[in-house]
Structure 1
């Protein structure tokens, strides 16, 4: 059950009113998380800026979604997990790869290394070693892509933590891995 009310451009104040107004004008509506984030103009503005910045990341979108699935499986945000699973499916990622990411692994060694890095950034970034970074480079990953993993994890921590604190839950499904009807 939500702990905070959804705000609208009419009920929000200050910078949040402006931000929500712009978003509604451009998109027609905003989701529960954004409408609830409007309680803090700093959080809403920070989320929007980081989200926009991460769209310029050089990290492959499929890899980003697999990292996000792994992080959200650990963090426990059902809304985020469901969203990233849906995004992965829409990108054509195979169901078995989505399931592996949920477990924090991948059948592709280069992707698996990025998922491991993402989970380590999430859990204990101080434990990352020079050897791990060298391994990522040996797998062909650029320093920019390695840095982008930190951004992906940061965005997931922000959105997942916010949703959990705000008491937001997925509507329509539990955020668990669900097979499409034609796989049943």
Structure 2
């Protein structure tokens, strides 16, 4: 049993209640993530506001889903990947691109793949990427502003991915059919090298 409560609009701390109401108004429901976050009104408020701020960036709806889903994949968030699969579908992302994000494989669109690689590298290297990686990101048409906006998207996902990791947040019925486990990606061995 989890040590974290999945709050309702009744059991949540008073300062979390308006945020849960806002979530319900925006999504038509209150996902379990926000119900868990409600235990910490400051975390829930930060999450809700940063999510809204990321929506105002110069990245398109599909590009924002690439950032989110790449973070979800790298952080192995079994709760968030199904939700962002659904959000990517709503954004009309091509099904093959959605599946590439779910599998952690190369996307067909070179610009989106560059965004995926840049986001992945930022996460795996804790922000300390090589200058060549940044130049490659700019070479496909992204700007310095957008590089910084990717960091905002990663911050949003860090809050949700880490919350789900420690709380074991149960997946909502709304996305049950999109359940996900991180695939094992095999690395080619260097046994051919002499």
* Equivalent residue number for residue 180 of structure 1: none
With the length of structure 1 as denominator, give the TM-score of the two structures: 0.83
Give 1:109 shift: 2.0
Partner Cα distance (1:165, 1:46) in 2 = 18
* Equivalent residue number for residue 40 of structure 1: 40
With the length of structure 2 as denominator, give the TM-score of the two structures: 0.79
SS across alignment from 1:30: coil
2:180 is aligned, of 166, 175, 179, to 175
Which deviates more from structure 2 when the two are superposed, residues 40-49 or residues 20-29? Answer: 20-29
Partner Cα distance (1:75, 1:100) in 2 = 16
Map 1:61-76 onto structure 2 (within 5 A). Answer: 61-76=61-76
* Equivalent residue number for residue 93 of structure 2: 93
Partner Cα distance (1:135, 1:81) in 2 = 27
Evaluate the alpha carbon distance shift between residue 12 and residue 129 of structure 1 in structure 2; reply closer, same or farther with a 3 A threshold: same
Point out where structure 2 has 5 or more consecutive residues left out of the alignment.
Answer: 183-194
The answer (yes or no) to whether the contact 2:100–2:107 under 8 Å persists in 1 is yes
SS across alignment from 2:108: coil
Evaluate the alpha carbon distance shift between residue 92 and residue 14 of structure 1 in structure 2; reply closer, same or farther with a 3 A threshold: closer
Kindly tell me the number of residue pairs found equivalent between the two proteins: 177
Point out where structure 1 has 5 or more consecutive residues left out of the alignment.
Answer: 178-184
1:144-163 CA-to-partner distances (Å, cap 9, x unmatched) read: 22111111122112111111
The answer (yes or no) to whether the contact 1:104–1:116 under 8 Å persists in 2 is no
The answer (yes or no) to whether the contact 1:67–1:118 under 8 Å persists in 2 is yes
The answer (yes or no) to whether the contact 1:65–1:84 under 8 Å persists in 2 is yes
1:100-139 CA-to-partner distances (Å, cap 9, x unmatched) read: 2232421222211111111112111343122222222221
Which deviates more from structure 2 when the two are superposed, residues 26-35 or residues 156-165? Answer: 26-35
Partner Cα distance (1:27, 1:135) in 2 = 36
